[in-house]
Structure 1
Amino acid sequence: MTAPTRRRLKTACERLALADPALARAYETIGVPDWRTGEPTYSMLGRMIAHQQLSTKAAATIWGRVETFLGEVTPEAILSASEDDLRACGLSRPKVAHLTSIAEAMVTGGLNLTRVCANDLDSARAELVAVRGIGPWTAELFLLYAVGEMDAFPTADVGLMEAHKQLGRYETRMESKAFTAHAEIWRPSRGVAAHLLWGWLNAERARDSAPSAK
């Protein structure tokens, strides 16, 4: 796993703050955001699949059961487990199918995460999304966390769109297509913009959940 240096992040944040008032407010509030990182493994991809369309708490509970059941979550371990066993952990049938498809691709060599991490951004994206079960959102998150690509960007991420709406003081949240188009002004640092928005949103949630002083 890797991450951009703090100097590169600071430079990108300053440019983004000039390009978009919403990002300027995020940067003013949280400063240079911490970059999320993760090991480029099958388990990382699997965890992302498990978290799709679920609350963080629910997904963590389900993935915890998978880890308890399998021990180390590897392609071989997933392929050796039955669908019923994986479903008993709380995974939906489509998610089991996606996890199995990704595991098969890694075992056969159709997906090589070492190669993905070494490739240019477009080639890396193409290899990831060619696998059934890895959509654009999952691919972009992997490129952000495991590769440290500063322009990778999960365009349909609801949290990002909501944070931008609040920071931009818009009455309504942009639709995905409009948000993707708007994000073009953030190139080549859309991934940094994502971290600014996530960082601000998490800080707001933490503040709102903090116990009130009596």
Structure 2
Amino acid sequence: MRGEDDESRKVVIRTEADIAEALAALTAADERLVRIAETAGPVPLRRVRSGLKGLLAIVVAQQVSKASADAIFGRLDAAVDLADPHAILAAGETTLRAAGLSRPKQQTVEAVAAAIAQGRLDLARLETTDAPEAIAELVAVRGIGPWTAECWLLFCTGHPDVFPAGDLALQVAVAHALDHESRPTTKRLGAIAEAWRPHRSVAARLFWAYYAVIHRRDVVPAQEAARAATPLQQNAKADRKPSRSGQNSPKPLS
């Protein structure tokens, strides 16, 4: 498995052409995806800034609208040098909360900054590390769960083979697209996604695009639609894990 992941890291999703190439490989390997791709239409790249600022952007965007996330991140970026973990720690709770961060998000931002400042977390190294190892190191930080770690790899580093199976929108989309009677669990969806290696990151983008279409068509029940937002704006159950303090970590997608 390590060898397969190392091989996948030789390819990085950087452009729309990379998306098109991977999508062609996916539809050739799994004919079910042809119809899904036709329904979904264009599959967005959704690449965002890498490194610390990218990770913090994902944290900020959890559970809020894109407009709110952009406003909060803008205020935060104006008040603090988000590329400098020491500056974040020096800013203190008052500054971080004034930017609009909830207390759990403020604590997560500080935990990430402390981990980097103390040498326990090296994001530059993780950008080229195999996914399981990178995820394990990220989730060791208080407030960072599997969904956040997976989305950082997928959107910030361009990792080609990551599938956030705990994402509610992906669960809803796959269930609808593949005619499942019920929404698959995280474990079940992870098993289903194995068929889309080594292009699972594009498969995830495809199903998010598909979800957006069926949501607009009111195919998704209102209750499910309210719970499943778009990438970088949803509270994924997979990230609700106990923290070292015994409290639940703030979660994050699709």
- 2:199 maps to 189
CA distance in structure 2 between the aligned counterparts of 1:170 and 1:207, rounded to whole angstroms: 19
What is the one-letter code of the residue matched to 2:51? T
Indicate yes or no: 2:165 matched with 1:155. yes
Question: Quick check: 2:19–2:202 contact (8 Å CA) kept in 1?
Answer: no
CA distance in structure 1 between the aligned counterparts of 2:48 and 2:29, rounded to whole angstroms: 25
Describe the superposition over 1:99-156 as per-residue Cα deviations: whole angstroms up to 9, x where unpaired. 1111111122221121111222333223222222321111111111232222112111
Change (3 A) 1:178 1:121: closer
Question: Quick check: 1:16–1:24 contact (8 Å CA) kept in 2?
Answer: no
Gaps of 5+ in 1: 209-214
- 2:150 maps to 140
Instruction: Please point out which of 4, 7, 14 is paired with 2:27.
Output: 14
Deviation at residue 97 of structure 1 after TM alignment: 1.0
Indicate yes or no: 2:141 matched with 1:113. no
- 1:51 maps to 61
Indicate yes or no: 2:41 matched with 1:36. no
Question: Quick check: 1:50–1:91 contact (8 Å CA) kept in 2?
Answer: yes
* Cα RMSD after superposing both structures: 2.6
| TM-score with structure 2 setting the length | 0.69
| TM-score with structure 1 setting the length | 0.80
Moved more, 104-113 or 183-192: 183-192
Indicate yes or no: 2:72 matched with 1:62. yes
What is the one-letter code of the residue matched to 2:104? P
| 3-state SS of 1:3 partner | coil
Gaps of 5+ in 2: 1-11, 219-254
- 1:92 maps to 102
CA distance in structure 2 between the aligned counterparts of 1:50 and 1:106, rounded to whole angstroms: 18
CA distance in structure 2 between the aligned counterparts of 1:181 and 1:55, rounded to whole angstroms: 30
What is the one-letter code of the residue matched to 1:13? L
